[in-house]
Structure 1
Amino acid sequence: MTKHSSEKMDPLVTKIAFANIGMSIVVLGFKYIAFHVTGSVAFYSDAIESIVNVITAIAAFIAIKISSKPADDDHAYGHSKAEYLAALLEGILIWVASFTILREAYKAFLNPHPLDAPMMGIGISILATFLNGAWSWLLISKGRKNRSPALEADGKHLLTDVYTSGGVILGVLLVALTGWQRLDPTLASLVALHIIWSGWELVRDSINGLMDSSLPEAELKRIQETIAANLEGAIEIHHLRTREAAHMTFIDFHLVVKGDMSVDNAHEISRRIKNALKGLHANSVISIHIEPESKRKKEGSFTS
């Protein structure tokens, strides 16, 4: 079998993704109990979102396992884009959950009913929200550090869940204190609308990743500066292109050298630039096409 260049993902990411499934189930259990003891549609909306969390945690774990596989003959650039598919699935499931919540909120608005044991439900929901908050912070920080879109997407969604849960808790408390029963389904509707927006953000980011969007302008400038600082012996570079796929970064460009330069010298310049770029992006695939001076470009190029 042909060997392909690929960087390994930190095994810690896979372990966290697996633990995320268990944590999602625990939080779902607490939120369901809060709904069960109160009959609150707002707590129901919170529990429905946690069902989505469990499903997407499983999807993220599978995607990360696939993404961490090394490149092979059928996937020469690796499997890292599998994570974007998981994040896209999460966004779609969030939309489905939001419409389910809206339906139940509509029914409850037409037929309001008093809440049972609201203070007990609030206490249980606070515990679930605290767990979600701590866990979302861990997922986001580890996801960013290890360039894992699936892990970071899960963390962002859980963080959104923390904010909405806080609003739901305050709202249910107001229902208990004021007796305004229609406030409960109104809160559930607001939660659903917020979930729709967070789902859109996940879908948008996933599509950008699947469409091979370039690196952000600030990061692109750092790459150009790094190349320019290590361009000694060469003339210029042009046709610089970048893209990222989960934890992998892809960089390619044309390196112009003097026509009579030896292959060894051109290779040494190329190696020096690659090593410097690896300092910026350890998990990167860098392709450099060496060209003679006659291929210099007047536009879209830069020198040291």
Structure 2
Amino acid sequence: MQKTSLNLSAGIASVSVALILVGLKLWALGATSALSVAASLADSALDLMMSLGGLMAIFYAARPADDDHAFGHTSVEDLAALAQSVFIVISGVVIGTGAVRRLLSDTPTALAQEGRGIAVMVVSILLTVALVLWQRRVARMTGNKVVAADSLHYMSDLMPSVGAIGALWISRHFGVGQVDSVVALAAALMLIFGAIRIGKGAWDALMDRRADPELIAAIGELAGTWPGVHGFHDLKTRMAGSRVFVNIHIELDGDQSLRDAHAIGASLRRKIIETWPQCDVIVHKDVAGER
């Protein structure tokens, strides 16, 4: 219950910060007409969507398995991430296109009230850093992958904010407004490539792609050296949101009692879950040499 409360607190904090940042950056965009601020605004709007999705995923994924969802509800994380990635790509293309048009235009767009825009971006950076520090603390305490991923995403948002400050400062002191378009184009490319990475991960999970090969190898090494296990085969994994489902067949002495065989399989299962809490494990027991 305490871990769930911490995860929810991180999710609510993420949504709250995103709402504040969207409001501030909307005002700053109206005041400055800076595309770099628009790029940062789009990033914050996407953060808000992802934070809402993450918060709903924390609620929904925490539900226990039922008759209709025997393996739980964590796939909702992948569905949300895939939808978000598509929206991120569209936003990145729109911002990038606007930046290129400004760069090629014979009459560059003049920026205004750069000082106010810089103040807003500084506030957004401070709020983002505070949120990331809290999210990382919660992730360390609970091991929640949604919170950890959200923290990583917010960390990547700092660069567009810093870039917007630089573009506004250069425009204010040197009158070089084209820097704003360059920063916006770079931010748009970051959005697109980040969205592709997020979307690929979600797609792989929805298509039952195997888990990280390093994780599979580590589980295999643990099973192969577990007391009472003479070997293993058919180690299979698949991902669903923050969960990794593991199926493994272990080979045991056929002359031992069922109770002893069960104890070996159960202890191995507990050790895998203890070492990798994101795993849901099924251990099948076979007689050694009779595959």
TM range (shorter): 0.7 to 0.9
Q: Write out per-residue CA displacement over residues 159-204 of structure 1, whole angstroms, 9 at most, x where no aligned residue.
A: 2221111112112211222212222223222211121111111112
C-alpha change, 1:275 and 1:194, in structure 2 (3 Å) is closer
State the number of aligned residues. 289
2:43 corresponding residue in structure 1: 49
Q: Write out per-residue CA displacement over residues 17-64 of structure 1, whole angstroms, 9 at most, x where no aligned residue.
A: 122111101111222222222222221221122122222221222222
1:214 corresponding residue in structure 2: 210
C-alpha change, 1:274 and 1:157, in structure 2 (3 Å) is closer
Give the alignment's TM-score, normalised by structure 2: 0.88
1:65 corresponding residue in structure 2: 59
Q: Write out per-residue CA displacement over residues 229-249 of structure 1, whole angstroms, 9 at most, x where no aligned residue.
A: 4332x4222111233433433
Local SS of the residue matching 2:157: helix
Distance in 2 (CA, whole Å) between partners of 1:252 and 1:144 is: 27
Letter of the 2:43 partner, please give it.
E
- The question of whether the paired residues in 2 share the 8 Å contact of 1:146 and 1:247 is answered with no
1:190 corresponding residue in structure 2: 186
1:126 corresponding residue in structure 2: 122
Q: CA RMSD in A?
A: 2.5
Note the C-alpha offset of 1:122: 0.8
Letter of the 2:187 partner, please give it.
V
- The question of whether the paired residues in 2 share the 8 Å contact of 1:64 and 1:82 is answered with no
Local SS of the residue matching 1:10: helix
1:254 corresponding residue in structure 2: 249
1:277 corresponding residue in structure 2: 272
Structure 2 residues not aligned, in runs of 5+? none
Letter of the 1:61 partner, please give it.
L
Note the C-alpha offset of 1:116: 1.7
C-alpha change, 1:89 and 1:229, in structure 2 (3 Å) is same
Distance in 1 (CA, whole Å) between partners of 2:149 and 2:280 is: 24
1:161 alignment partner, one of 152, 157, 160: 157
- The question of whether the paired residues in 2 share the 8 Å contact of 1:249 and 1:283 is answered with yes
Q: Write out per-residue CA displacement over residues 37-95 of structure 1, whole angstroms, 9 at most, x where no aligned residue.
A: 22222212211221222222212222221111100001001001111222222222211
Identical pairs, percent: 23
**Correspondences of 1:96-115 after superposition (within 5 Å):** 96-106=90-100, 108-109=102-103, 110=105, 111-115=107-111
Note the C-alpha offset of 1:134: 3.0
- The question of whether the paired residues in 2 share the 8 Å contact of 1:248 and 1:283 is answered with yes
- The question of whether the paired residues in 2 share the 8 Å contact of 1:270 and 1:288 is answered with yes
